[in-house]
Amino acid sequence: MEKNLNIGIVGTGAIGRTHIERINRKLQGAKVTACADANLDFCRSVAEKYGLKVYENGEDMIADDKINAVIVTTLDAFHEEYVLAAIKAGKFVFCEKPLAPEAQACRRIAEAEIAARRQLVQVGFMRRYDPGYRQLKALIESGEYGSPLMLHCAHRNPDAPGFTTDMPVENSMIHEIDVLRWLIGENYISAEVVFPKTTKYAQGALKDPQIMYLTTESGIRIDVESFVNCRYGYDIKCEVVCEEGSLNLPEPANAMVRSKASRMTPICRDWSERFIEAYNVEFQEWINSCRAGVVNGPSAWDGYLGQVAAKAASKARDTQTRIAIKTEPTPDFYKK
């Protein structure tokens, strides 16, 4: 193994800070040593808390020889420029999901990486590292329950300030678009999105909840409910109905309390609590693979395919029709 990694992070907002915290206080083999953010004052306060060097410009940090690897946790629209800068500098780069809001931007990233002749990019599809989804995948692959026929999923956030009608697909259900393709090992062929009655808690013109329907190559039907103002907690559900059994994503382990003639088990408040183990495993594996010189987590191509499906679902939502999804063959570079 190589020496410890010095990581530079661009984006010191909500998830950026949780990643700094886990890498510097919990995980092994790397430290976040530098940061940059468009909000320089806030970035300085984060740097002070964790003892990091501040760069006024993210690109300068990425180009600095002292930085061995990069994490991008800016808002979605700014991922591409920093990921491309990291590829140009020949550095491993972990980019939060979605890789970029436009499929063509994801494609540009994949092409830059292919031209660099080295897989440098990993996308933050952390559900692939969640022990519950990993159990579901092992059960499906055991073949004991027959083929999956239908998947019923829900992705509920207690609230989502600033969300607009495009974001449930492109910022939230992009997780399901990725993890379900990985889970069942099939590409999607079409998408539809319908609007149930909108909650009184939706801000502005936001349509919430939304239900996305996906169909796969072999005809598996998937429904995913996104409800970003569900109020009661952060709740993720996935049931895979197979020919000879139904497989359910486990809930995080929490003791049940019996009191006052009720049974109660707590529900997580947000993603950082619900997927804490997934993020820890995701980052420890990423650090280990960067140190070993071969990154093999969710790739820029996975980011691209996710965005192609998300764009089809967005078009389906806006036109209220069913939209076909065409999946290009995987380039040899991304075949594992």
* 68: partner contacted, choices ligand INS, ligand NAD, none (Cβ within 5-8 A by kind): none
- Binding ligand INS (rule: CB under 6 A), the pick from 73, 119, 165, 171 is 171
Using CB under 6 A as the binding rule, whether residue 16 contacts ligand NAD is answered as: yes
Identity of the residue, 157 or 216, whose beta carbon is nearer to ligand NAD in the bound complex = 157
83 three-class SS: helix
Cis peptide before 168 (omega within 30 of 0): no
Instruction: Pick out residues in 120-149 that bind ligand NAD (CB under 6 A).
Output: 124, 126
Dihedral sign, Cα of residue 5, residue 10, residue 12, residue 17: negative
Number of residues that bind ligand INS (CB under 6 A): 5
- 221-227/148-156 β-pairing: parallel
* 147: partner contacted, choices ligand INS, ligand NAD, none (Cβ within 5-8 A by kind): none
* 158: partner contacted, choices ligand NAD, ligand INS, none (Cβ within 5-8 A by kind): none
Instruction: Pick out residues in 50-79 that bind ligand NAD (CB under 6 A).
Output: 58, 73-76, 78
* Interatomic CA distance for residues 239 and 234, integer angstroms: 17
Identity of the residue, 22 or 31, whose beta carbon is nearer to ligand INS in the bound complex = 22
In the complex, minimum distance from the CB of residue 78 to ligand NAD, in angstroms, rounded to a whole number: 4
Picking from 140, 318, 170, the residue whose alpha carbon sits closest to that of residue 240 is: 140
Instruction: Pick out residues in 18-37 that bind ligand NAD (CB under 6 A).
Output: 37
* Interatomic CA distance for residues 147 and 242, integer angstroms: 5
Using CB under 6 A as the binding rule, whether residue 172 contacts ligand NAD is answered as: no
131 three-class SS: helix
Dihedral sign, Cα of residue 223, residue 227, residue 228, residue 231: negative
* 216: partner contacted, choices ligand NAD, ligand INS, none (Cβ within 5-8 A by kind): none
Number of residues that bind ligand NAD (CB under 6 A): 22
Neighbours of 208 (CB within 10 A): 22
In the complex, minimum distance from the CB of residue 120 to ligand INS, in angstroms, rounded to a whole number: 22
Helix axes 174-184, 131-142, angle to 10 degrees: 30
In the complex, minimum distance from the CB of residue 39 to ligand NAD, in angstroms, rounded to a whole number: 4
Helix axes 131-142, 276-292, angle to 10 degrees: 80
Dihedral sign, Cα of residue 150, residue 276, residue 122, residue 335: negative
* 58: partner contacted, choices ligand NAD, ligand INS, none (Cβ within 5-8 A by kind): ligand NAD
- DSSP-derived letter for residue 208 is -
- Binding ligand INS (rule: CB under 6 A), the pick from 94, 125, 271, 286 is 271
**Residue span binding ligand INS (CB under 6 A) among the ranges 169-177, 186-194, 295-303, 308-316:** 169-177
* Interatomic CA distance for residues 217 and 143, integer angstroms: 19
User: For binding to ligand NAD (CB under 6 A), which residues are involved?
Assistant: 10-16, 37-39, 58, 73-76, 78, 96-97, 124, 126, 171, 271
